[in-house]
Structure 1
């Protein structure tokens, strides 16, 4: 593999390094499947024409960031068959895909020595539509994020741990789900994403505005 893992000294360094590449949370916007950002807005950000909003202080973002370490430890207890690895401010780069990077919530080694992506999501279920997006499936934008990580790392599989929190009658209910994706079963989707990312990055480098892709309603 042509993969290199960097551990950057500070979050500021990490933020600067990711600005010049496509990251996992960017990938779904390129395909027009990000509910928060269009492909045009992402292009404007990557070409320096738009400054993204800083959402790090939003309560739901802070909750997810702070809960991640505890959910990672719970995963270790629930799935002792995996070795769970993590480095702060990590960034995986791949010489075959210089347009992208992968910053992981963790990575796994199974009993056969295979490498896997570990991704963690915390979600407040406020509407029934949000619940449906997690019903025996991964929401599209998170699925594409995992495809991007598999592309850059060339790992064999991925596991997403999702904590779905809802409130009813003053009581808090938490449901935990685990989704496993084998690279061999989604290789066609990875290839499609790679092609789309290469095209998008060429448009960034040439400062050629892409056509708007609207998400399905």
Structure 2
């Protein structure tokens, strides 16, 4: 079954219109997040996005530069690919598609890649990365595709139902961009598609439609999600009574706090013990490096230095007084919070 065309040209949509259309279903970039394959998002954050629940600290306007550069680089990736692989022709595709029978599955494709000698067509995904992320693509001649990108492509194949594969072209910035250019091809796998369709269906029907938060996976970056809860709700000084179902969690948090306190105490004791052991050795070396060999193994001792730059608080105070305009130009305020749990006996218990 062929897909429906939901939007004929997404470039004619405003940013807000495009986001509204994206909320009508699950897109390719949502798929790995729902499956738990993304390092940068989670099913809960996708759920918030689909229901238009604010959770980001920064607005789309704050990210305009990054998004615009990304759009420009897609064309650069295509140009580099066609130059390095002249047997291929790439056609941009600005339509938004909808699965023929599952309307909550949608897709925005970057392009279609056509192999001119055979006429075979593949979905094309244009990617960029830095040198550090290049390792996720494996050696140049391997067929490694990062898992999140792989399932993004498999989502597209499921929606389109007319392509046998996805061709990835990734431009790595910052090094030898021609040598580091990665091209990969994955073929359609119906068994993997069944898995992703099942997971996406559960997410859409049992969570988005019913407005029930999805649970957090064990691998979720919960610290990031907790920060986003603060972005979502803002500051609230009210005291809210908790239901008894949370009592076990609160007791476990208190137990964890006690264990961490004990570990920190042990760490400080070990640090002091290490310093006592180091003292006679360093006193003997008188500032030099040292080594010792017993014929079977060798020990080496040397000083490793770390450097950092900072401004003392006293100097900042002087700067604020002496050149307030300069101080206000460069000073930045960061507020970070943390949650504490305390347990106190109720007054009735104290009487007993």
- TM-score > 0.5 by shorter chain: yes
SS of the residue aligned with 2:107?
coil
**Structure 1 residues 170-196: Cα deviation after superposition (integer angstroms, max 9, x where no partner):** xx432101000111xx32212111111
> 2:36 matched to 1:29?
no
Matched position secondary structure for 1:57:
helix
Show the counterpart of 2:181: 176
Tell me the distance in 1 between the aligned counterparts of 2:28 and 2:200.
11
Q: For residue 4 of structure 1, what is the aligned residue in structure 2?
A: 4
Return the alpha-carbon distance in structure 2 between the equivalents of residues 187 and 56 of structure 1: 36
Closer/same/farther in 2, CA of residues 4 and 43 from structure 1, 3 Å limit: same
**Contact residue 44 and residue 215 of structure 2 kept, 8 A:** yes
Partner residue of 2:108?
A: 103
* CA deviation vs aligned residue, 1:53-90 (integer Å, no higher than 9, x gap): 5364254x4433211112212323333434422144x2
Q: Could you tell me how far apart the structure 2 residues matched to 1:141 and 1:214 are?
A: 17
Contact 2:42 2:220 in 1 (8 A): no
Q: Which has the higher contact order (CA 8 A, sep 6+)?
A: 1
1:208 paired to 2:216: no
Q: TM-score, normalised by structure 1?
A: 0.83
The structure with the greater share of residues assigned to strand is 1
Unaligned runs of 5+ in 1: 167-171
Deviation at 1:200, TM superposition (A): 0.5
Consecutive unaligned residues of structure 2, counting only runs of 5 or more, are 222-352
Larger Rg: 2
Q: Which residue of 1 aligns with 2:269?
A: none
Q: How does 1:64-213 map to 2 (within 5 A)?
A: 64-88=70-94, 90-110=95-115, 111-125=117-131, 127=132, 130-135=133-138, 136=142, 137-154=144-161, 155-166=163-174, 172-174=175-177, 175-183=180-188, 186-202=189-205, 203-213=207-217
Taking only aligned residues, the RMSD between alpha carbons, in angstroms, comes to 2.3
